[in-house]
């Protein structure tokens, strides 16, 4: 089985190689998979892709022409795949729905703790021999109301973490988690999340109905000084609207591990290049904004889980044991 691994980094080579006990012929490409690079998949039966690979209909047609039979996503989200085009092309799509939900949930907590106590700003001050506290005033998380949007595997872990810190947690999800309900977590609509929450954390997939769910209207309904955390998908947030919310102080703090235009930006060392994204550059000017480059998943445990599940999916495909795969189908 010949596998083309796109958007690969040294850690992908290490972990996929470490857990490949089937002797797959893996070729690692640093390039993102899109229409301009799809020809590189010529002669491969499987393409292994990541979050910012662009598997639109044109890319999938190229993959079909090149003989690709499986798209093996080494991530949970699949919003970057045209599932209808894949189905029409006869290409199966699989993913890694759960690798380490704790990794992303804990990263959301890290962003929140750094923001509410201005750790990122204090770190820079101390390095400059500045030990003043002016401008570093924080707030207790204890008893604050946390609105969690999406209580799947990651969101449910985040709920439990925040409960452990003594926060009041409310949740929103079209499919409530019965275990959380049994713990007394109330499920409410988005309107109530906007109205009640001091802190809002996003843990939902990017779909048609969640695109730009954090928009001008939603922000106007939120508490003044609200904290927003997004470790899910960048396009859940209308970045321009959030910038206006920051300028008006309606949004008090913003923590992002994702960005709606991150493709071609995140996961790369661009320190010697000029930043061309004016919107992202504007975000970086706010002292109450903390951004990390999509590293929420980046733990030893998560990389192990991703590698094992990805390889298990490919093994099952090779054996035509499709029921054993984490398949993604067009709903």
Q: How far is CA 326 from CA 8, 12, 39, in A?
A: 21, 20, 26
Q: Count CB atoms within 10 A of the CB of residue 58.
A: 14
- Decide: helix, strand or coil at residue 187: strand
Strand extents, DSSP E, the chain: 2-5, 25-28, 46-49, 70-73, 92-94, 145-149, 168-172, 199-202, 226-230, 251-256, 289-291
Residue 149: phi and psi, rounded to 5, are -100, 110
Asked if 210 and 184 count as a contact pair (C-beta separation under 8 A), the reply is no
Nearest to 223 by CA among 188, 195, 265: 195
List, in order, residues 6 or more apart from 58 with CB less than 8 Å away. 35
Q: Tokens 């998560």 appear where?
A: 302
Q: How far apart are CA 302 and CA 12, in angstroms?
A: 12
Cα 206 from Cα 204, distance rounded (Å): 7
Indicate the Cα dihedral angle 74, 76, 81, 85, nearest 10°.
Answer: 100
- Report whether 236 contacts 214 (CB < 8 A): yes
> Do residues 189 and 139 lie in contact, with contact meaning Cβ atoms separated by under 8 Å?
no
Q: Which residues are part of the catalytic machinery?
A: 233, 262, 294
């Amino acid at each position: 089985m010949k596998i083309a691994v796109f958007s690969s980094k040294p850690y992908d080579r290490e972990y996929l190689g470490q857990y490949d006990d089937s002797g797959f012929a893996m070729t690692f490409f640093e390039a993102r998979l899109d229409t301009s690079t799809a020809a590189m998949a010529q002669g491969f039966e499987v393409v292994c892709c990541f979050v910012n690979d662009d598997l639109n209909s044109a890319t999938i047609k190229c993959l079909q022409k090149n003989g690709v039979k499986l798209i093996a996503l080494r991530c949970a989200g699949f919003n970057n795949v045209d599932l209808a085009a894949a189905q029409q092309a006869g290409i199966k799509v699989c993913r890694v729905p759960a690798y380490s939900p704790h990794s992303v949930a804990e990263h959301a907590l890290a962003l929140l703790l750094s923001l509410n106590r201005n750790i990122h700003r204090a770190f820079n001050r101390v390095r400059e021999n500045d030990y003043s506290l002016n401008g570093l005033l924080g707030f207790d998380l204890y008893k604050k109301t946390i609105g969690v949007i999406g209580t799947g595997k990651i969101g449910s872990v985040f709920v439990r973490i925040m409960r452990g810190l003594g926060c009041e947690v409310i949740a929103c999800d079209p499919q409530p988690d019965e275990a959380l309900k049994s713990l007394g977590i109330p499920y409410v609509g988005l309107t109530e999340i906007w109205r009640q929450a001091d802190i809002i954390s996003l843990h939902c997939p990017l779909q048609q109905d969640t695109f730009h769910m954090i928009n001008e209207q939603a922000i106007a309904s939120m508490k003044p000084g609200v904290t927003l955390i997004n470790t899910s998908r960048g396009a859940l947030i209308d970045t321009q609207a959030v910038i206006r919310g920051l300028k008006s102080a309606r949004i008090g703090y913003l923590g992002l591990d994702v960005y709606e235009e991150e493709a071609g930006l995140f996961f790369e060392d661009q320190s010697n290049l000029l930043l061309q994204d004016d919107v992202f550059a504007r975000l970086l000017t706010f002292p109450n904004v903390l951004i990390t480059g999509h590293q929420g998943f980046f733990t030893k445990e998560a990389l192990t889980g991703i590698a094992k599940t990805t390889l298990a999916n490919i093994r099952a495909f090779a054996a035509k044991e499709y029921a054993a795969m984490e398949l993604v189908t067009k709903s």
